[in-house]
Amino acid sequence: MIDLNEFFGMKGKVALVTGSASGIGLGISRFFANTGVSVAMFDINGDAGPARSAEIEGDSEFFLCDVTDSGSCSCCIDAALERFGRIDVLVNCAGVARRNDVVGLSESDWDLALGVTLKSVFLMSKFVVPHMRRQGRGRIVNIGSGWSFKGGPKAVSYCAAKGGVWNMTRAMAIDLGPDNINVNCVCPGDIDTPMLKSECEQLGGVYDENYREECSKRPIKRLGTPEDVAKCVFFLASDMSPWVTGSSLVVDGGGIA
């Protein structure tokens, strides 16, 4: 008989999750902690972050981190290593959506979207990978989007950032494979989160049942949940995917099928 707990090999591991104070990042943190993984929760939201960490069943700690700032990333990673002793999994989930076209988008919103969504993957990986190399193994899961592969209306900065995340994943997989570090990308569709609500309101809509129903027009007729994404991230972080690297896993109910 197969022991799935042994196959997944995640109990006692340590995961670092960015953007973990809400939305998908929070869902990933909750799911991981509930399976026996210790979770370092990184986010710039110092109000919500500690409260969300306290609510999680399992071993977690919140670290106030600006993922666009090199010094903040380095210091927080050092603090997480002091607290947990190791980092086995890095989940780069932090992201910002500023909905506009190339003419209407401000330079500051472009910088914000690319900084939080794309630069953060570079900075967090830069400081975590040396520790994974010393351990002799590691898993990095970057959160992309369906818009990593195709364009979308009034989403020029988001599409640019998420497209970059996907291609960066492939480049990192090539560089880090010899170090036994797997790098993959999970690409969600519309997920029922505060970010989706914010995007709706930026475009002048109302985040109501009609809007959510419109977003549910896909083969599996519902919005996604953070747990839908978390389960896929968990698979790629686990020992169940030892020969998977440089790959993308689209989690969108068939939206771009």
Query: Is 158 marked active-site?
Result: yes
In this structure, are residues 29 and 20 in contact, taking their beta carbons and an 8 Å threshold? yes
Helices (H), the chain: 4-8, 23-34, 48-55, 70-84, 107-114, 120-135, 156-176, 194-202, 209-215, 226-237
Distance CA 61, CA 49 (A): 9
In this structure, are residues 187 and 146 in contact, taking their beta carbons and an 8 Å threshold? yes
| Helix axes 107-114 and 156-176, enclosed angle (nearest 10) | 30
Query: Which residues lie across from 181 on neighbouring strands?
Result: 138
Query: Which residues lie across from 188 on neighbouring strands?
Result: 251
Distance CA 198, CA 170 (A): 30
| Side chain identity at residue 161, one-letter code | A
Given 93, 158, 176, 199, the catalytic residue: 158
Candidates 3, 29, 19; CA nearest to 233 is 29
| Side chain identity at residue 224, one-letter code | G
Distance CA 45, CA 47 (A): 5
**Active site residues per annotation:** 158
